[in-house]
């Protein structure tokens, strides 16, 4: 005997629109998190502006900085000029393909930057880059000022 139920039977449906909304939310969230995990190893200095700069990948790199007062920094640690060469030789022994990014303040003395460059070249590194601000990002809201 077949007894019918007073509650109408509906077939199950999967609503696709809420799933799409959730997927877009997750995609945007993961993108924002991955962008915020970029770390800057060098000291914050007032970089000069240049028109010929190109963006480079910063994998396996060392950041050396000199500020306007003539202090040297290895990544974000203050270091004496005489300590740069032994530290770079130690890194060169383990990673000779590492890149050196030089961050010099716009108001830094040319002689201070030259002395640091001499230490870098004496260590054996050949891949050197000077960090500058790009003219293209000067007018962009939220870009470097």
* Helix (H) or strand (E) segment spanning residue 115: helix 110-123
Cα–Cα dist 88/107, whole Å: 25
Cα–Cα dist 143/104, whole Å: 19
**pLDDT at residue 140, rounded to an integer:** 47
pLDDT per residue over 63-104, tens digit each?
889 988 989 999 888 999 899 999 999 988 988 888 888 888
**pLDDT at residue 142, rounded to an integer:** 44
**pLDDT at residue 26, rounded to an integer:** 93
**pLDDT at residue 141, rounded to an integer:** 45
**pLDDT at residue 40, rounded to an integer:** 62
Contacts of the segment 72-77: beta carbons below 8 A, 24+ positions apart: 72/112, 72/116, 73/42, 73/43, 75/41, 75/42, 76/41, 76/42, 76/43
**pLDDT at residue 51, rounded to an integer:** 65
Domains defined along the chain, listed by start: 49-137 (3.30.420.270)
* Helix (H) or strand (E) segment spanning residue 143: none
Query: In which residue ranges of the chain is pLDDT below 70?
Result: 1, 37-59, 134-145
- Which residues have a Cβ under 8 Å from the Cβ of 123 and sit 6 or more positions away? 85, 88, 89, 91, 92
pTM, full prediction: 0.56
What three-state secondary structure class fits 137?
Answer: helix
Cα–Cα dist 49/143, whole Å: 13
């Amino acid at each position: 005997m077949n007894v019918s139920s007073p509650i109408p039977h509906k077939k199950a449906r999967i609503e696709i629109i809420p799933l799409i909304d959730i997927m877009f939310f997750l995609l945007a969230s993961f993108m924002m998190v991955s962008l915020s995990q970029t770390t800057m190893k060098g000291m914050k200095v007032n970089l000069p502006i240049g028109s010929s700069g190109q963006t480079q990948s910063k994998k396996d790199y060392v950041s050396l900085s000199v500020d306007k007062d003539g202090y040297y920094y290895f990544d974000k640690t203050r270091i004496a000029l005489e300590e740069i060469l032994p530290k770079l030789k130690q890194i060169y022994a383990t990673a000779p393909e590492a890149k050196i990014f030089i961050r010099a303040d716009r108001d830094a003395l040319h002689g201070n930057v030259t002395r640091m460059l001499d230490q870098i070249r004496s260590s054996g590194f050949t891949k050197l880059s000077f960090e500058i601000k790009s003219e293209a990002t000067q007018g962009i809201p939220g870009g470097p000022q």
